[in-house]
Amino acid sequence: MSAAARWHDLAPRVYSGIAMAVFGLFAVWMGGPLFALLSAAICGLMAWETARMFRAGQAVGLGVLAGVVLLLAGWAPGVLALPLLLAPGFVAAGQVPRDRLMLFGMTAWVMLASFALIWLRSEEGKLWLAWLIAVVIASDVMGYFAGRMLGGPKFWPRLSPKKTWSGTVAGWALAAVIGAAFAGPLGADPWLIVVSVLVGFAGQMGDIFESAVKRRQGVKDSSSLIPGHGGVFDRFDALLGASAVTLLLWALGLLPGTGG
Q: Residue 194: pLDDT band by 50, 70, 90 thresholds?
A: very high
Model confidence, pTM: 0.87
Q: Is residue 3 part of a domain?
A: no
List the single range of 3-17, 23-37, 49-63, 179-193 with lowest mean pLDDT: 3-17
- Report in angstroms the alpha-carbon separations of 211 from 73, 118, 153, 215: 28, 25, 18, 6
Is residue 147 classed as helix, strand or coil in its secondary structure? Answer: helix
pLDDT value at residue 19: 65
Whether residue 56 is found in the same domain as residue 183 = no
- DSSP string of 73-127, one letter each residue: HHHS-HHHHHHHHHHHHHHHHTT-SS-HHHHHHHHHHHHHHHHHHHHHHHHH-HH
Indicate if the pLDDT at residue 6 is higher than 60. no
**Are residues 101 and 112 located together in one domain of the fold?**
yes
Per-residue pLDDT, 11 = 60
Confidence at residue 20, expressed as pLDDT on a 0 to 100 scale: 60
Is pLDDT of 165 > 90? no
Q: Does residue 79 share a domain with residue 45?
A: yes
pLDDT of 14 reads 62
pLDDT above 80 for 18: no
Residue 78 CB-density burial (10 A; 0-12 exposed, 13-18 middle, 19+ buried): exposed
pLDDT value at position 66?
A: 98
Is the model's pLDDT at 255 over the cut of 80?
yes
> Up-side HSE of residue 83: CA atoms within 13 Å toward CB?
5
Q: What is the mean pLDDT of residues 10-28?
A: 67
Cβ-contact 40, 71 below 8 angstroms: yes
- The three-point CA angle 93-57-110 to 5° equals 45
- Which backbone phi and psi does 226 adopt, to 5 degrees? -115, 115
Average pLDDT score over residue span 148-165: 79
Judged by DSSP in three states, 162 sits in strand
Residue 18: inside a domain = no
Residues 75 and 45 in one domain: yes
Whether 186 and 242 share a structural domain:
yes
Looking at the structure, tell me whether residues 111 and 151 fall in a common domain: no
| Same structural domain, 114 and 143 | no
Lowest mean pLDDT among 23-32, 71-80, 201-210, 211-220: 23-32
Q: Are residues 77 and 134 in the same domain?
A: no
- What percent of the chain stands above pLDDT 70? 90
Reported as a pLDDT band with limits 50, 70 and 90, residue 256 is: confident
CA distance 221 to 49: 9
Domain boundary among 71, 93, 124: 124
Q: Are residues 54 and 87 in the same domain?
A: yes
pLDDT over 80 at 93, yes or no = yes
User: Could you say which of 91, 124, 157 is where a domain stops?
Assistant: 124
How many structural domains comprise the chain? 2
Segments forming the whole domain that contains residue 45? 31-124
Adjacent-strand bridge partners of 156: 160
Q: What is the pLDDT of residues 23-46, one digit of tens each?
A: 677 788 888 888 999 999 999 999
User: In the listed set 124, 156, 188, which residue is the last one of a domain according to the structure?
Assistant: 124
Give the Cα separation of 199 and 40 in Å (integer): 23
Please, which pLDDT band fits residue 161 given cuts at 50, 70 and 90?
confident
Q: Which helix (H) or strand (E) holds 156?
A: strand 154-156
256, part of any domain: yes
